[in-house]
Amino acid sequence: MKLRLFQQEQLKVRKILSLVVVTALSITTISCSENKDVLITQIDISPPSSGTAQTSAAGNLYVQAKNQHFQGDLQGAIATYSQVIDSDPNYAEAYKSRGLAYFDAGDKQRAIADYSQAINLAPDDAEAYNSRANALASQDNHQQAIADYNEAIRLAPRYAEAYNNRGNARLAQGDNNGALDDFNQAISLDSRYVIAYNNRGNARAAQGDREGAIADYNQAINLNSSFGPAYNNRGNARAAQGDREGALEDLQRAATIFQEQNSNDLYQQVMRNIRELGR
């Protein structure tokens, strides 16, 4: 029996931010490839805040593009970000934001090119390094991704998201101890970091520490009772302990959450786990 952890590679957990930067994981959207395990990497998408520059033609276009992106109009956002860049070729934020739109549209190479240009224009931007690293990791270029996460952390030592994401890249390379160190650091910087608890649980599960993994999944669920991956992963850990009833309960809860969130790929994967458990 081989139940699958949600722990590696193409899952995007979007932390939607309000104008006052309030985390809203309860309305998280998730997507993944059916053919890979998934690593939970955090990618922030935010509407333009009241402080977003609007004092120029390029600034006004940038606000328009941000709104298009936030509303899910990726091609419209890319076109408008391109107008911003045509108007002001040194607008680093526009390159970074267009890179994220390209990433969301599945064009990782253009995303990397835009993040690189943003870094050329603003070499102290830790977020740009983190974003480029996410795109590199999505292409299995974990070594270069780690180099970028390192730079993000050097520039912003309290950047919890970069530690979490570097932990994912290390876990993908089989460096479980390094991954655990990174997830521990992310949690020490943000004690309510749901994704980091889930990912640390995966790292512990990879080391055979099922009790530690379940404790982390419990904490992720306590912080966000609608976080489907933690239910799936806790179900897998319980199955490995021989707790079939507890495992089925968790997997069925994960399936319900993904179905309610219209995350069909993840719903189908959990249903495969349930069928596997029933054999």
Give the pLDDT of residue 48: 66
Beta carbons within 8 Å of 154's beta carbon, 6+ residues apart: none
Structure tokens at 24: 């809203």
Q: Dihedral of CA 82/84/90/91: which sign?
A: negative
Give the pLDDT of residue 18: 20
Q: Which fold has domain 12-277?
A: 1.25.40
Over residues 66-89, mean pLDDT: 96
Of 27-41, 149-163, 168-182, minimum mean pLDDT range: 27-41
Give the pLDDT of residue 1: 52
Of 25-29, 62-66, 82-86, 103-107, minimum mean pLDDT range: 25-29
| Predicted structure pTM score | 0.84
3-class DSSP state for residue 109?
A: helix
Beta carbons within 8 Å of 4's beta carbon, 6+ residues apart: 37, 236, 269, 272, 273
Give the pLDDT of residue 30: 31
pLDDT classification of 47: cutoffs 50, 70, 90: low
Describe the strand order of the beta sheet including 12-16 as a list of residue ranges: 30-31, 12-16, 41-45
Give the pLDDT of residue 278: 83
Give the pLDDT of residue 41: 72
Give the pLDDT of residue 176: 94
Of 33-47, 62-76, 166-180, minimum mean pLDDT range: 33-47
Give the pLDDT of residue 45: 65
pLDDT classification of 106: cutoffs 50, 70, 90: very high
Q: Is the pLDDT of residue 27 over 70?
A: no
Over residues 46-58, mean pLDDT: 66
Share of the chain above pLDDT 90, in %: 78
Supply the DSSP symbol for 36: S
Domain boundaries, the chain: 12-277
Structure tokens at 108: 């990782």
Cβ density class 126-137: b for 16+ within 10 Å, e for less: bbbbbbbbbbbb
Which of 101, 42, 111 shows the shortest CA–CA distance to 71? Answer: 101
Whole-number mean pLDDT of the chain? 86
